[in-house]
């Protein structure tokens, strides 16, 4: 069993053993005791993970163990929740901050000042061709706060208003400003604006791209759009398939029998990769080679299936490379 899974299993064993004590502290309102118990248990999985106790959706409380926006930790948080016991009337479990049911009524202390969520206003902009919303966040106390404190409070507020995963999906640049933006929009309208943006992009599609190699050759690519790791949190294994082909035009792009062979391989690949196990994300053609970039759940045995599949490639020596890439850094310039 991988060390990662051992740490997760150890947490849930600890949880089962200590739950009566945790419940008693919860009943007594002993927040300090809960923190002293939970903090080291979560840190034993990975010290970079954050945790919170929030109001539950169906249960009384939710235990949230989150990557706090770090893409490389998101798969770990989702594997933690996948191993969780069934929710009951008291506890449910989430791998990211959920929208707070009464977000507009929240008031917290930030920099020694009251930070009322319903006093936040926003400047909004959708960059051309991007399925994201850039935000300028302003609150009346922001002129008295430093940049770091402003930014931390803005991120926390957005997570509790939209939910952490929705922020990762639909929010682009976030600027916590010390001055009110032009044409400010009350934050209460943000969920509706994001819902409208999501509706515009409810069905993924493929987009075609062109460029040049460093030597001046032509490159063509197709990429899924939108393409975001948050939509596939368990797919942290990057598999690159390189297929050389014989028949090409003057730009080194596939033609004739080679183009047909590549089409057949794509169909075979799609049949071998269930949607819940892997995602073909990007395809690149250049210099008589097609590269296919696939992200997969490393526990699903996808890489071995692909290695078997490429044994049937007859246009040259195919290569399969496998690496861990939870942040999808290898295709970062295609992410949107």
pLDDT tens-place values along the chain, 336 residues long:
468 899 999 999 999 999 999 999 999 999 999 999 999 999 999 999 999 999 899 999 999 999 988 889 999 999 999 999 999 999 999 999 999 989 999 999 999 999 999 999 999 999 888 899 999 999 999 999 999 999 999 999 999 999 999 999 999 999 999 999 999 999 999 999 999 999 999 888 999 999 988 878 899 999 999 999 999 999 999 999 999 999 999 999 999 999 999 999 999 999 999 999 999 999 999 999 999 999 999 999 999 999 999 999 999 999 999 999 999 999 999 998
The three-class DSSP label of residue 188 is helix
Residue 77 CB contacts under 8 Å (≥ 6 apart), including other chains? 49, 65, 66, 67, 95, 96, 233
Q: What is the pLDDT of residue 128?
A: 87
Q: What is the pLDDT of residue 296?
A: 98
Give the count of beta carbons closer than 10 Å to the beta carbon of residue 42. Answer: 18
**Is the separation of the CB atoms in 287 and 213 below 8 Å?**
yes
CA 78 distance to own-chain centroid: 10
Q: What is the pLDDT of residue 1?
A: 44
Residue 258 CB contacts under 8 Å (≥ 6 apart), including other chains? 245, 246, 247, 248, 315
Q: Fold for 205-334, please state it.
A: Alpha-Beta Plaits (3.30.70)
Q: Whole-angstrom Cα distance, residue 280 to residue 276?
A: 12
Phi, psi of 312 (to 5 degrees): -90, 0
Q: What is the pLDDT of residue 16?
A: 97
The three-class DSSP label of residue 290 is strand
**Is the separation of the CB atoms in 59 and 82 below 8 Å?**
no
Domain ranges of the chain: 3-94, 103-200, 205-334
Q: Which helix (H) or strand (E) holds 151?
A: helix 147-162
Q: Whole-angstrom Cα distance, residue 91 to residue 60?
A: 6
Q: What is the pLDDT of residue 202?
A: 84
**Entry pTM:** 0.90
**Is the separation of the CB atoms in 49 and 76 below 8 Å?**
yes
Q: What is the pLDDT of residue 217?
A: 83
């Amino acid at each position: 069993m991988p060390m990662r899974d051992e740490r997760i299993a150890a947490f849930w064993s600890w949880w089962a053993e200590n739950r009566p004590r945790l419940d008693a502290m919860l009943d007594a309102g002993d927040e300090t005791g809960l923190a002293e118990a939970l903090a080291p248990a979560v840190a034993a999985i990975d010290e970079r993970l954050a945790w919170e106790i929030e109001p539950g959706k169906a249960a009384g409380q939710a235990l949230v163990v989150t990557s706090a926006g770090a893409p490389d930790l998101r798969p770990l948080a989702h594997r933690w929740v996948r191993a969780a016991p069934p929710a009951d009337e008291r506890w449910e479990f989430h791998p990211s901050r959920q929208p707070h049911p009464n977000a507009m009524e929240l008031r917290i202390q930030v920099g020694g000042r009251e930070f009322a969520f319903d006093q936040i206003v926003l400047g909004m902009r959708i960059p051309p061709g991007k399925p994201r919303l850039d935000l300028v966040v302003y609150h009346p106390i922001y002129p008295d706060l430093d940049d770091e404190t402003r930014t931390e409070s803005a991120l926390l507020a957005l997570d509790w208003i939209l939910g952490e995963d929705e922020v990762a999906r639909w929010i682009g640049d976030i600027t916590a400003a010390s001055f009110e933006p032009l044409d400010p929009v009350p934050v209460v309208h943000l969920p509706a604006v994001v819902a409208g943006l999501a509706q515009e992009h409810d069905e993924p599609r493929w987009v075609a791209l062109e460029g040049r190699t460093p030597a001046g050759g032509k490159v063509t690519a197709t990429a899924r759009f939108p393409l975001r790791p948050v939509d596939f949190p368990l797919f942290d294994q990057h598999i690159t398939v390189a297929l050389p082909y014989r028949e090409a035009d003057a730009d080194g792009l596939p033609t004739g029998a080679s183009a047909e062979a590549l089409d057949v391989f794509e169909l075979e690949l799609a049949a071998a990769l269930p949607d819940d196990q892997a995602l073909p994300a990007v395809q690149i053609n250049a210099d008589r080679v097609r590269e296919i970039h696939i992200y997969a759940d490393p526990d699903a045995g996808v890489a071995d299936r692909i290695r078997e599949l490429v044994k049937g490639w007859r246009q040259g020596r195919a290569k399969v490379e496998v690496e861990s890439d939870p942040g999808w850094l290898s295709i970062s310039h295609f992410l949107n």
